[in-house]
Amino acid sequence: MRQFTENTIKLIQGIPEGKVMYYGQIAKHAGNARGARQVVRVLHSMSKKYQLPWHRVVNAKGEISVKGEEQFHTQKVSLELEGVEVDSGGTINLDKFLYEPEEDVEWKR
């Protein structure tokens, strides 16, 4: 497995309940600031295998950006059950709910 993919998985697994991160933010911390689409690929292909809390990942505007009404509803409800406030359009206040990992995360050592 490539290092970026491993880092991405560890970052997503480390998002605490009640917090969110956005795709580009994860990519930057994982080692490729331009790798937001790769983060999407990891979420799509590895969420089940690694039990990733995919619902805690949103776009840079703080919006739920999954396709389909059922997935949108699932993500919105999952976030709300963790205490994240999501408006009817699927937007989260990043000032309040954004998670910023420590700079010296374990895998960077």
Please tell me the predicted confidence (pLDDT) of residue 109.
46
Residue 80 is part of which domain span?
3-97
Per residue in 61-76, is it b (16+ CB within 10 Å) or e — as a string? ebebebeeeeeeeebb
Domain presence at residue 106: no
Number of domains in the chain: 1
DSSP-derived pairing of the beta strands 57-58 and 21-22? parallel
Which residues are paired to 98 by β-bridges?
A: 20
To which H or E segment does residue 79 belong? helix 69-81
pTM over cut 0.85: yes
- Say how many C-beta atoms besides its own lie within 10 A of residue 53's C-beta: 19
Domain presence at residue 107: no
Domain presence at residue 108: no
Mean pLDDT along residues 5-31: 97
Write the pLDDT tens digit of every residue in 59-99: 999 999 998 999 999 999 999 999 999 999 999 999 999 99
pLDDT at residue 8 greater than cutoff 80: yes
Domain presence at residue 9: yes
